[in-house]
């Protein structure tokens, strides 16, 4: 049962969503390419969770079969973040976040397939609304089609691992899941490096050395945006409903785009048609939890006896 929430809880929830909206900006501030960036982010996050669990005296050992299941989802997370940061680097943070705004709608399509539930009509309608928003963006921002395509793929992978994580949380604590997923994501990035170096960099060597303030941005990305944000969000789940949390998390792209314009200025300013398409996507994303909540309340209550 959800406990009584305070005004501070709602403030902290928006603060966490603001932090998550800052990740695309950090991806641009860090000089490392997307693969190397994900390697360091997941390494710092895995070590951070391990230190946190050691401090709280929480054991991390699990059976090998369960570790392999969790690690498989970690590989998906690695790919999700690689395409996420890659999208921001080949386009802009705003384009990346516009594509990522489709994650909850991808979830609406992926979840029924994995959990074998019925697809809802309003989810399909909202999905078509998102496509219309993307068509507006593609029509007027053709120079960023590659970045948007990568963001859409990242959003799909994000939806997939979120649904799979929903099944894992029924058996394991969030600390176990995060530690093994971050560890597997780090290992996946490391294993993929030789293929990346040979086929995707035109013969350029991997860039593993940090430059200037990369160390600071990476620590913020791995420590604040991953470990801290995760631990606070878990704590808030004790007092805030899932509906409230999901509705607020949908504002992540809005916060991210506003921050990108404020920080990067002219380089992040797009045409009015881009913001129109983004607005269409965000409206559909915000409508989804509202319509889902309305649909649940509309269902008739079965009489007892």
Asked, for residue 2, whether it belongs to a domain, the answer is no
Does residue 201 carry a pLDDT above 70? Answer: no
Does residue 305 carry a pLDDT above 80? Answer: no
Asked, for residue 303, whether it belongs to a domain, the answer is no
Asked, for residue 130, whether it belongs to a domain, the answer is yes
Does residue 195 carry a pLDDT above 60? Answer: yes
Q: What is the mean pLDDT of residues 250-272?
A: 71
DSSP string for 7-27: HHHHHHHHHHHHHHHTHHHHH
Pairwise CA distance, residues 10 & 24, whole Å? 23
Q: What is the pLDDT of residue 17?
A: 86
pLDDT in tens, 75-112: 999 999 889 888 888 887 778 877 887 777 787 788 88
Buried b (16+ CB within 10 A) or exposed e, 280-289: bbbebbbbbb
Pairwise CA distance, residues 82 & 27, whole Å? 10
Does residue 282 carry a pLDDT above 50? Answer: yes
Closest Cα to residue 289, out of 156, 140, 120? Answer: 120
Asked, for residue 236, whether it belongs to a domain, the answer is yes
Structural domain harbouring 220: 7-296
Domain count for the chain: 1
Does residue 263 carry a pLDDT above 90? Answer: no
Asked, for residue 304, whether it belongs to a domain, the answer is no
Task: Kindly indicate the confidence band of residue 246, based on its pLDDT and cuts at 50, 70 and 90.
Answer: low
Mean pLDDT of the chain: 80
Does residue 203 carry a pLDDT above 70? Answer: no
Chain centre distance of CA 131: 20
Q: Is 233 helix (H, G, I), strand (E, B) or coil?
A: helix
Q: What is the mean pLDDT of residues 212-220?
A: 91
Comparing 276 with 80, the larger pLDDT belongs to: 80
Contact of 218 with 30, CB cutoff 8 Å: yes
């Amino acid at each position: 049962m959800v406990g009584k929430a305070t005004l501070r809880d709602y403030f902290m929830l928006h603060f966490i969503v603001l932090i998550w909206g800052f990740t695309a900006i950090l991806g641009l501030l860090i000089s490392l390419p997307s693969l190397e960036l994900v390697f360091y982010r997941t390494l710092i996050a895995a070590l951070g969770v391990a230190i946190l669990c050691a401090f709280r005296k929480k054991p991390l050992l699990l059976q090998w079969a369960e570790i392999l299941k969790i690690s498989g989802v970690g590989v998906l997370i690695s790919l999700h973040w690689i395409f996420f940061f890659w999208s921001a680097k080949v386009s802009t943070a705003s384009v990346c976040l516009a594509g990522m705004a489709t994650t909850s709608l991808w979830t609406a399509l992926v979840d029924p397939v994995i959990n074998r539930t019925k697809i809802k009509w309003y989810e399909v309608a909202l999905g078509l609304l998102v496509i219309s928003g993307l068509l507006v963006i593609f029509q007027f921002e053709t120079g960023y089609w590659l970045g948007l395509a990568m963001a859409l793929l990242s959003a799909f992978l994000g939806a997939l691992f979120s649904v799979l994580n929903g099944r894992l949380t029924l058996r394991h604590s969030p600390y176990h899941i995060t530690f093994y997923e971050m560890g597997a994501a780090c290992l996946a990035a490391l294993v993929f490096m030789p293929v990346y170096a040979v086929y995707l960099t035109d013969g350029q060597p991997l860039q593993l050395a940090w430059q200037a303030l990369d160390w600071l941005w990476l620590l913020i990305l791995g420590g604040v945006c991953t470990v801290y944000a995760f631990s606070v969000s878990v704590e808030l789940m004790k007092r805030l409903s899932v509906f409230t949390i999901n509705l607020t998390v949908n504002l992540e792209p809005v916060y991210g785009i506003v921050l990108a314009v404020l920080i990067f200025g002219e380089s992040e300013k797009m045409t009015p048609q881009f913001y129109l398409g983004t607005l269409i996507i965000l409206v559909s994303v915000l409508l989804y939890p509202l319509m889902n909540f309305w649909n649940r309340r509309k269902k008739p209550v079965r009489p007892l006896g």
